[in-house]
A and B are shown apart, each in its own frame.
Chain A
Amino acid sequence: MSAPVKSGKSPKWAMLIDTTKCVGCLACVAACHNQNELPVTEFFNRVEEQEFGRFPNYNRRFLPMQCQHCDNPPCVSVCPTGASYKRSDGIVAIDTQRCIGCKYCILSCPYKARTINREHGFVHKCGFCAVLLHNNALPACVGTCPTGVRVFGDLNDPNSEISNLAASKKVVQIGKDLNTKPSIYYIIG
């Protein structure tokens, strides 16, 4: 697994999810689960399935979803203790020591990307595998995908694959009208 490309300045992490390649195998969900040592019933990511048409003119689509690491994150605005915060590298993080488990953030997230930890009572979610990024490795969901659905990288590096893809006309951001400014870009076939 290769490390994300790094530019000279501090990174701005982003991900592209190409749904036209997704076969819904859930390897990304299982990899995330192990990496973050989650209890059996708690998840940081999911894959939604959508169906179109009638037999035999039928198709379906798998749509991987998780925290969008918004640049204008509603979860951060509503947090009464400052536990949810935006890092300089673009990651929306949670200081679980300051989280009181009020769940305002869970309600405010339009992507349903946050979950409560039943053992300790704090809210947690996808953190772009910051631990792995710190060690120059890719997030768990990216590395395990057999069809290369996910591209991860640094938007502050103008030569990175993610910078080129994010600027492309074929990408969309989910819930753009909500002005959340997500860091995850999608190709929707």
Chain B
Amino acid sequence: MSFDKKITRRAFIRAAAGGALASGLAVGAVSCGPKNSQEAADGTKAAADVKKIATQCQGCGANRCGIYVYVKNGLVWKVEGNPRTYNNAGTVCPRGHAYIKELYNPDRIKQPLKRTADGKYEPISWEQAFEEISTKLNLIIMDNGPQSVFWAQYPMANMPLAFRFMHALGSPNTITHGATCFTARNAAFNATCGALPDNDLKNSRYIILVGRNPAAGVKLQQIKDIADAKRHGARLVVLDPRHSETAVIADDWLAVKPATDLAFLLAMLNVIIEEGLYDHRFVEERTVGFDNLRDAIVTYPPEWAEKVCDIPKETIYRVAREFASYKPRALIHRGYHGGYGASYFNSFQTARTVAILNAIIGNYEAVGGLFMPLKPTLGELEKGGHPAPHIPEIEKADGAGVPGRYPAASYSDGIVQAIPELAISGKLKAGFVNHMNPIRTNPNPERVIAGYKKLELLVTIDCFMSETAAASHYVLPESFFLERDDHVDTVHSGPVGQLTVVAQVVKPMYDTKPLLDIITGLSKGLGIGKYFNFTMDELNALRLQPFGVSLEELKREGVVDVGPRWVEGFKPCKTPSGKIEFYSSQLASWGLDPMPGWQEPLVSPNPSDKNSFRLIHGKQAIHTHSMTANVPYLMQLSDRYDMIRLWINRQRAEAIGLKDGDTVVVESDIGKGYVKVRLTGGLHPSAVWMPSGYGIFSKYLKTAYGKGINYNDFLNTYFDPAVGHVMSNEIIVRVSKA
């Protein structure tokens, strides 16, 4: 934070806070004088006014932890975890602690903004913003049809509003960040077992993580459950080119050559099938295509795999046999982004193999294996007399879910990195971007900027002036999560259904609005106002209607359990056969390989160039995507712990004359950048590893601007032929001393 040195953060917050308490429960008052927080333990100072309010953290998208926010004398002070919410079980990650203070970040967008002819932004009223945006959008739709409009959003609980808005306009083009994150994994599990399962880590006896690092790509419940399982004797195997933060507590770190996890997994399948270690009964009763599978894996023995993936064959035999010996209380984590979420050309088949390896030991719906989370079905607006608009019949512009284009892609996630091309080709003319920053988080920023600049209308809805906001015609400030009521959510559902909700903690500090009010304001001038004639409380009451839970109760408790608890026992899959499909007739019908098999990576480092590396990336526990780089406290941690460094294998680095802390130049055919290196024994020699949350270039974000670089600066624009995912680790760079 670039404060004047004479003004401390505390003094600033005191001065800046205009927000009064919205609601809340008074708790035991504690005293904390401005000069001395420790002596106050004796209760000698005047008691402060402290309130504790339950809500849901929005510091990342995956967890949305149940939290209690403490407000002291009207100012947001600290958070604690709600002990009953599944995803965090009473704990809070570093981002969650720090993110609440973003409320007081001076870089916040404080009123609607309009770009002027000279590229600056001028404040305008909400009325003017709604009127001008809807007028322009009406003209674009008149000339080009509603399918020329898109909405891109990180899929938080309020995403259904975006669907409703776009469908009311007649456009199918709602798009998430999924193709840059997890769609290869989801598509593979959908093809194999019909949906994405959860992991019963806590009760597992043998856990394999393939590129998954819940300690830094934080899933608090997962890392807690892994620690609990280990305390009860479970073994933890981490297959990762980098010694991840989860590998620190693992029994085995298997430093796989990046892009070859598939070879390791195919060889595991080979051993388990050839040695008859699988669950014969489960395979016979619950799966289809075992004969095809046996034929498909016969050419992948560990003797083959060790040459491909750099893990010795003895280790592959051992892990395969150990894994099978604990059946069904063993699992390969379903994975997330790292490993095979959207990383490689072979990620879809890698994820297929993970799904099949779990099934072959019969762990689906078994204690200590995989299970389908019990997500309750929320009540709908229709029940309150608010009919839903029809889903447009027209195909999505990005080809997601369209046979002949990207048949295995997710219809609801779309293919976000296609937007620039679609804008340049004129298929997309106008777009809304909400709580997402594609100009920083999509490959090849120059291309993304060129595409988004081609749009006749770009509107960004956000709290901060991201790169995407700074390229928009209009910027509409959403109220910070602590300032707004938002959707009842089911994200905490696992072994039991759970309802949580974002509840207002303080009143808005500036002229900002929650998303529903923004969409409602826009809808009037677009002739679709009839679809947005309800309040957030009405919407949430309807969502809660099936459960007999009142909004007041949910806000008071922060979380309410609903429905039955998970019980062991196989349930029919949402696949065509109702079984787990080793052979996928659906994939065959799309012209895709119905069986997993080895696929070479798209690109590989040049073996005769000692400066040539594959660039891979991953998360640090203190950052969420590009969203938290501007949080002063988190960036302070990045600096203090020297975390903005490129990891490089020590021997490889020394061979090209690098010392720890040297600055290197990193170059690909797309881009060039400078960064410090960390020499380590914790990385496969073929790769360099870059933390993913840095490289902010929006000059409005004063804390983060110009700090570090980002893997997207080096990534070509790819579309996996089946899923459309971004293949974000298919990057070859040259690294040399700057």
Chain A positions near chain B (C-beta within 8 angstroms): 1, 20-27, 29-31, 33-37, 39-41, 43, 47, 49, 51, 53-62, 93-97, 118-120, 122, 124, 127, 130-135, 140, 143-148
Contact = CB atoms under 8 A, between A and B. Distances in A.
B140 interface: no
B141 to A, nearest CB: 46
B38 A135 contact: no
A54 B32 contact: no
Given A23-B223, A25-B215, A143-B90, A51 B249 contact: no
Contacts of A24: 215, 245, 248, 621
B255 interface: yes
B39 interface: yes
A60 B682 contact: yes
A30 B245 contact: no
B242 to A, nearest CB: 10
Contacts of A39: 8-10
B79 interface: yes
Interface of B: 1, 8-11, 28, 30-32, 35-43, 77-81, 83, 88, 90-98, 100-101, 215-216, 218, 220, 223-224, 226-227, 243, 245-246, 248-249, 253, 255, 621-622, 632-633, 636-637, 640-641, 649-651, 680-685
13 contacts: A1-B80, A23-B249, A25-B215, A25-B216, A25-B622, A26-B641, A30-B95, A96-B39, A119-B11, A127-B41, A134-B41, A144-B81, A145-B91
Nearest to B39: A95
B637 to A, nearest CB: 6
A18 B62 CA distance: 28
* 10 closest residue pairs by CB, A with B: A130-B41, A23-B215, A30-B97, A25-B621, A34-B78, A30-B94, A58-B681, A147-B227, A127-B38, A55-B681
B39 A93 contact: yes
Given A25-B93, A58-B681, A119-B10, A148 B39 contact: no
A40 B632 contact: yes
Contacts of A59: 243, 248, 253
A24 B649 CA distance: 21
A41 B636 contact: yes
A153 to B, nearest CB: 17
A34 B67 CA distance: 14
B92 A131 contact: no
Nearest to B244: A23
A97 B685 CA distance: 56
Contacts of A56: 253, 255, 681, 684
Given A36-B37, A127-B41, A131-B41, A25 B681 contact: no
Contacts of A26: 94, 621-622, 637, 641
Contact of B97 (A22, A135, A144): A144
A118 B6 CA distance: 9
A1 B32 contact: no
Given A37-B10, A56-B255, A58-B243, A146 B39 contact: no
Pick the most buried of B249, B253, B649, B650: most chain A CB atoms within 10 A of its CB: B249
Pick the most buried of A23, A57, A94: most chain B CB atoms within 10 A of its CB: A23
Contacts of A49: 641
Contact of B8 (A54, A57, A119, A143): A119
Nearest to A32: B97
A145 B80 CA distance: 11
Pick the most buried of A47, A59, A95, A146: most chain B CB atoms within 10 A of its CB: A146
A170 to B, nearest CB: 14
Contact of B77 (A37, A54, A124): A37
Contacts of B83: 1
A51 B680 contact: yes
A146 B633 CA distance: 20
B38 A34 contact: no
Contact of B98 (A30, A37, A124, A146): A30
Contacts of B255: 55-56, 58
A96 B227 contact: no
B94 A29 contact: yes
B43 A134 contact: yes
B40 A131 contact: yes
A100 B35 CA distance: 14
Nearest to B95: A30
A124 B38 contact: yes
Given A1-B80, A119-B10, A134-B42, A55 B649 contact: yes
A131 B10 CA distance: 19
Contacts of A35: 78
Given A23-B245, A35-B78, A131-B32, A40 B37 contact: no
Contacts of A140: 78
A58 B93 CA distance: 27
Contact of B637 (A22, A29, A124, A147): A29
B224 A37 contact: no
A43 B98 CA distance: 14
Given A34-B97, A95-B39, A147 B223 contact: yes
A22 B208 CA distance: 19
Contacts of B651: 54-55
A37 B37 contact: yes
Contacts of B9: 39-40
B624 to A, nearest CB: 13
B155 to A, nearest CB: 24
Nearest to A25: B621
A59 B8 CA distance: 40
Nearest to B243: A58
B224 A146 contact: yes
Given A134-B43, A147-B249, A31 B621 contact: no
Contacts of B97: 27, 30-31, 33-34, 144
A62 B90 contact: no
Nearest to B5: A118
Contact of A148 (B88, B92, B227, B633): B227
A178 B100 CA distance: 41
Nearest to B246: A23
Contacts of B78: 31, 34-35, 140
A40 B1 contact: yes
A107 B28 CA distance: 38
Contacts of B41: 127, 130-131, 133-134
A124 B220 CA distance: 31
A26 to B, nearest CB: 5
A53 B28 CA distance: 50
B621 A51 contact: no
A53 B684 CA distance: 14
A134 B651 CA distance: 53
A73 B97 CA distance: 31
Contacts of B43: 134
A34 B77 CA distance: 7
A21 B249 contact: yes
Contacts of A119: 8, 10-11
Nearest to B678: A51
B575 to A, nearest CB: 34
A146 B682 contact: no
B90 A55 contact: no
A50 to B, nearest CB: 10
B494 to A, nearest CB: 16
A124 B144 CA distance: 64
B633 A30 contact: yes
B79 A34 contact: yes
Contacts of B637: 26, 29-30
B132 to A, nearest CB: 39
A62 B246 CA distance: 11
B93 A60 contact: no
Given A33-B97, A58-B681, A122-B35, 18 more contacts: A20-B249, A23-B216, A30-B637, A34-B100, A51-B680, A51-B682, A55-B651, A55-B683, A58-B255, A60-B243, A118-B8, A127-B37, A131-B31, A131-B38, A135-B28, A135-B30, A143-B80, A144-B97
B30 A31 contact: no
Given A23-B245, A56-B253, A130-B38, A146 B220 contact: yes
